[in-house]
Every structure is written in structure tokens, then in C-alpha cells.
């Protein structure tokens, strides 16, 4: 595995690759969720590029940019074990200049749910992903379903800008007790972690009652609220795969999303129905 730190080196290397490239952009602190993305990229492409970059433009003022977990040595080892070909580790000054061309996420889709709580967050996400796509020019790029709204917006960006990149949607990885893997889980105390289990429980309960043909989102939501009654729930939302709000579950075209604050930590989770 080759570690790359400069734009010039990455561009030079990319020019020399004529076979298929799979790209996995990350912010590091790699867990089994990331590993599953990397493994899938490994199995579907000749060359795998992983990036680790804690992108400042997607953090709002007061968010956890400075304390976002960093484990670069362990991350590097993981990538090596997963037979990644190139690990791209840029600095902020490598990625950004002054007074840049900006990307603006769509008005409607990007200012609901996560975008409503984190205004401008998705502008930063799309900006850095577009930069990384420009550098790595992947055939396929891998994103987890856990950040479902991010995934929908990246897919839309690829469509709107005709980038011709296959966006591969990867399943959410969970602890054996159901907690969705997240780099931010390290912020949780034992008690908070235990409380947080109600999130995935509520999602699985929703799937169970949908299995019994309850498709009314209002009813499902009330059921989920009961399960998460001890938690500070920011939203429970029902959207289709185009991320438009729905009132009735459409099988194979719905996503149920939850955002919860546990102590100072925001956790998001979802289930694709």
C-alpha cells in the first residue's frame, strides 16, 4: 500500500491507472462499517483508493471538528490489511485554498432532517466529495447507508453533474446488540451507550410492524416514540429513496430515519424498508 499526501502525486498515479478504480472516502477512525466498504471496493475493482480527511467545511461552528477521533496509525494498518492500493492523507491546506468555487446542495433536500439541524453541512460534504472525485476519478465510490441523506445527495450530485460514477450503497454495520457503528460512538459513556440501544430497537420494531402490514407512518412513529421515550429524539422521519417525505410506507422504496441526542453526542440511524 502506498501512502499519498500531495495532489500532484495522486494525480500522477491516477493518470497511470487504466483499469477500474474503487474509491472509499472516509474521515478515519475506521470501524467495521468502513472495513465493509473497503472490502466491497476490493472485491469489485482492480485498484482501491481510500482517503482519510476530516473535512472542516462539513462541520458547523461548535461541532466536534477539533475532537473528532483520530487514529491514523491503526487506520493505516487496517487499510494495509484490506489490501488497499493507495491511501490518500491530505492536509487541509492541500485540499483548500482561499475564496474557492463552492458547491451548494439542493435547496429542498439539503435543508430537511440533518440539513435542518446542521445548515450548510451538506454543502461541505458535497464540496469535499467532488474534490476527491476529481482527484481519484473512480469508476465506483462506496458510501454507507447509515448517512442516508448524504448518500442521496451524493447520488444526486453525480446525476446533476453527469459525473458517470457508480455510487455503491453499502449496508449499515451494527454491534451485536444492534447499535449502529459510528466513529462518534467512542464519545458515549457506558450508560449512554446502553440508552442508545433504544434507537435500533425502535427501527427493528418499526420493521416488525410493517411486516404485519401496518404502513401508516403516523402509527409507526408513535410506536417508535414509545420505545425511545427515555431519549432526546430530534426527529423520526419517513422518506422514499428520493428522500421525499412520505405518509405511507412503500415497500422497497422507504427509509425510516432517526436522530437522537445522547448527552452531547448526536447519533443517527435508519432502516431501509
Question: What residues are annotated to the active site?
Answer: 34
* Whole-angstrom distance, CA of residue 140 vs CA of residue 212: 37
Q: Is 100 in the site for its own copies (CB under 8 A)?
A: yes
Q: Which of 112, 93, 1 is nearest to 53 (CA)?
A: 93
Q: Is 99 in the site for its own copies (CB under 8 A)?
A: yes
> Which one, 8 or 73, has the nearer CB to its own copies?
8
Question: Is 161 part of any known ligand binding site?
Answer: no
State the binding string over 72-91 for its own copies (x if CB under 8 A, else -).
--------------------
Question: Is 124 part of any known ligand binding site?
Answer: no
> Which one, 105 or 113, has the nearer CB to its own copies?
105
Residue 175: CA atoms inside 13 Å, Cβ hemisphere, count? 16
Question: Is 146 part of any known ligand binding site?
Answer: yes
* Whole-angstrom distance, CA of residue 165 vs CA of residue 31: 25
> Which one, 109 or 146, has the nearer CB to its own copies?
109
Q: Which of 177, 193, 175, 170 is nearest to 272 (CA)?
A: 170
Binders in 151-190 for its own copies, by CB under 8 A: 153, 156-157, 159-164
> Which one, 101 or 190, has the nearer CB to its own copies?
101
* Whole-angstrom distance, CA of residue 262 vs CA of residue 62: 17
51: which strand partners? 25, 88
> Which one, 38 or 95, has the nearer CB to its own copies?
95
128 within 8 A of 57, measured Cβ to Cβ: yes
Q: Coil, strand, or helix at residue 247?
A: coil
DSSP 8-class letter at 52: E
Of 11-19, 65-73, 202-210, 256-264, the segment contacting its own copies by CB under 8 A is: 11-19
Q: Which of 166, 115, 111, 171 is nearest to 137 (CA)?
A: 166
Shortest reach from residue 133's CB to its own copies, in Å:
8
Q: Is 226 in the site for its own copies (CB under 8 A)?
A: no
State the binding string over 123-152 for its own copies (x if CB under 8 A, else -).
---x---xx--xx-x---------------
Of 23-31, 95-103, 176-184, 185-193, the segment contacting its own copies by CB under 8 A is: 95-103
Q: Is 52 in the site for its own copies (CB under 8 A)?
A: no
Instruction: Tell me the chain's radius of gyration from C-alpha atoms.
Output: 19
Q: How many CB atoms lie within 10 A of CB 73?
A: 8
Annotate 122-170 with DSSP letters as a single string: HHHHHHHHHHHHHHH--SEEEEETTSHHHHHHHHHHHHHTT---EEEEE
| 43, 67, 97, 211: which one binds its own copies (CB under 8 A) | 97
User: With contacts defined by CB under 8 A, how many residues of the chain interact with its own copies?
Assistant: 31
Residues belonging to the binding site for beta-alanine are: 58
Interface with its own copies (CB under 8 A):
7, 11, 14-15, 97, 99-109, 126, 130-131, 134-135, 137, 153, 156-157, 159-164
| Binding site listing for (R)-pantoate | 58, 150
* Residue numbers belonging to the annotated binding site: 27-34, 58, 144-147, 150, 181-184
Amino acid at each position: 500500500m502506498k501512502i499519498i499526501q500531495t495532489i500532484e502525486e495522486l494525480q500522477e498515479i491516477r493518470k497511470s491507472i487504466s483499469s477500474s478504480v474503487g474509491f472509499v472516502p472516509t474521515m478515519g477512525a475506521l470501524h467495521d462499517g468502513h472495513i465493509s466498504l473497503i472490502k466491497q471496493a476490493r472485491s469489485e475493482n482492480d485498484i482501491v483508493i481510500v482517503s482519510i480527511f476530516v473535512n472542516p467545511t462539513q462541520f458547523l461552528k461548535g461541532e466536534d471538528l477539533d475532537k473528532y477521533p483520530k487514529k491514523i496509525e491503526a487506520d493505516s494498518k487496517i487499510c494495509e490489511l484490506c489490501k488497499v492500493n493507495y491511501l490518500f492523507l491530505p492536509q487541509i491546506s492541500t485540499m483548500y485554498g482561499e475564496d474557492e468555487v463552492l458547491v451548494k446542495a439542493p435547496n429542498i433536500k439539503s435543508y430537511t432532517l440533518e440539513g435542518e439541524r446542521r445548515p450548510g453541512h451538506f454543502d461541505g460534504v458535497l464540496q469535499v466529495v467532488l474534490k476527491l472525485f476529481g482527484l481519484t476519478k473512480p469508476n465506483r465510490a462506496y458510501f454507507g447507508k447509515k448517512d442516508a441523506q448524504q448518500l442521496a445527495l451524493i447520488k444526486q450530485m453525480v446525476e446533476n453533474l453527469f459525473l458517470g460514477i457508480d455510487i455503491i450503497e453499502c449496508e449499515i454495520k451494527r454491534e451485536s446488540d444492534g447499535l449502529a457503528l459510528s466513529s462518534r460512538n467512542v464519545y458515549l459513556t457506558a450508560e449512554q451507550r446502553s440508552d442508545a440501544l433504544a434507537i435500533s430497537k425502535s427501527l427493528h420494531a418499526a420493521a416488525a410492524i410493517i411486516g404485519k402490514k401496518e404502513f401508516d407512518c403516523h402509527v409507526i412513529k408513535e410506536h417508535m416514540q414509545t420505545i425511545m421515550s427515555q431519549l432526546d429524539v430530534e426527529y423520526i422521519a419517513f422518506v422514499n429513496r428520493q428522500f421525499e417525505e412520505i405518509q405511507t410506507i412503500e415497500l422497497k422504496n422507504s427509509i425510516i430515519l432517526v436522530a437522537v441526542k445522547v448527552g452531547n453526542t448526536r447519533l443517527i440511524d435508519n432502516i431501509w424498508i
